[in-house]
């Protein structure tokens, strides 16, 4: 798994995360359209990344930068502001760079990555949770540009129950250059739920789902685990290996079938 072009700056982990940036993008026409628990979980995810001992130790206790916009109130950012995010990132020269988006935010995250490609900026991790296109996309939101080192792409596979609450859902991703899944991990989630609820879960359950009494989450916090692995220097093959056990837990607890695929590897995870 790879998919990097020669002009892209190396993203190899040197132990220095001091110029690191994390961007989390919500969907919808406006931020308030998103369920409050989804928005809260986005902000908590950023805080959990920055609270990690490795991240603290390698950022002089500052964590990854996430406040990028003037008068930004929340840690996460609404998808409609993606062009402002690009302008901010162009002045920062971030390394490493983590981009996460849900719904329209997934499309915005891809647009950010594509905008930064010509300047040689590596996106170390692009997480696109059930991407839904917008009216302001820079190209196809399901085609991953060459400057993305690793794309984790959870998306909803519709079941008959989708019709109970029809809602736009995402698709499999592939590389923009050659159509391959080199450096792309597609995670197809076949929820027996109405489309709107399945769409929410494509982010929410991969970010841990509901909290449990005494701390922790009902579901594996796969988003956090993958992010921290990438920041510690894990290879794409390492990430592929590590996601399989949490996905098995998710399949069992949520009673769903999961289709996991990347270049040269496909498997079905069943409850």
> Among candidates 240, 229, 6, 185, which has minimal Cα distance to 96?
229
Helix/strand/coil (H, E, C) string of 138-170? CCCCCEECCCECCEEEEEECCCHHHHHCCCCCC
* Mean per-residue pLDDT, 250-259: 98
Mean pLDDT of the chain: 94
* Mean per-residue pLDDT, 59-84: 98
Indicate whether 153 pLDDT > 80. yes
Q: Give residue 7's pLDDT band: very low, low, confident or very high (50, 70, 90).
A: very low
Rounded alpha-carbon distances, angstroms, from residue 30 to 26, 104, 139, 189, 214:
9, 10, 22, 26, 33
Per-residue pLDDT of 11-67, as tens digits, reads: 344 589 999 999 999 999 999 999 999 999 999 999 999 999 999 999 999 999 999
How much is the pLDDT for 15?
83
Peptide bond into 123 cis (omega under 30): no
Q: What percent of the chain has pLDDT over 90?
A: 94
Boundaries of every domain in the chain: 21-269
**C-alpha triplet 75, 80, 85: angle, nearest 5°:** 55
pTM of the shown model: 0.95
**Residue 73 region, left (φ>0) first, then alpha (ψ -120 to 50), else beta?**
alpha
Indicate whether 264 pLDDT > 90. yes
* Mean per-residue pLDDT, 134-147: 97
């Amino acid at each position: 798994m790879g998919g990097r072009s020669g002009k892209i700056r190396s993203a190899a982990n040197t132990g220095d995360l001091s110029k690191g940036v994390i961007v989390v993008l919500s969907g919808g026409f406006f931020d308030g359209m998103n369920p409050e628990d989804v928005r809260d979980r986005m902000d908590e995810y950023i805080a959990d990344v920055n609270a990690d001992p490795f991240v603290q130790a390698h950022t002089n206790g500052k964590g990854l930068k996430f406040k990028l916009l003037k008068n930004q109130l929340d840690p996460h950012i609404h998808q409609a502001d993606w062009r402002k995010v690009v302008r901010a990132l162009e002045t920062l020269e971030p390394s490493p760079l983590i981009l996460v988006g849900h719904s329209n935010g997934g499309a915005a995250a891809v647009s950010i990555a594509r905008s930064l490609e010509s300047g040689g900026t590596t996106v170390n991790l692009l997480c696109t949770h059930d991407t839904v296109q917008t009216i302001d996309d820079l190209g196809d939101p399901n085609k991953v540009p060459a400057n993305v080192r690793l794309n984790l792409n959870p998306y909803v596979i519709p079941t008959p129950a989708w019709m109970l609450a029809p809602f736009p859902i995402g698709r499999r991703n592939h590389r923009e250059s050659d159509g391959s899944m080199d450096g792309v991990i597609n995670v197809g989630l076949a929820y027996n739920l109405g489309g709107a609820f399945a769409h929410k879960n494509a982010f929410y359950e991969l970010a841990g789902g509901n909290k449990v009494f005494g701390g922790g989450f009902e579901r594996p916090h796969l988003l956090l685990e993958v992010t921290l692995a990438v920041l510690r220097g894990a290879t794409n093959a390492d990430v592929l290996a590590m996601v399989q056990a949490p996905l098995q837990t998710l399949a069992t607890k949520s009673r769903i079938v999961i289709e996991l695929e990347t270049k040269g590897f496909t498997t079905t995870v069943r409850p």
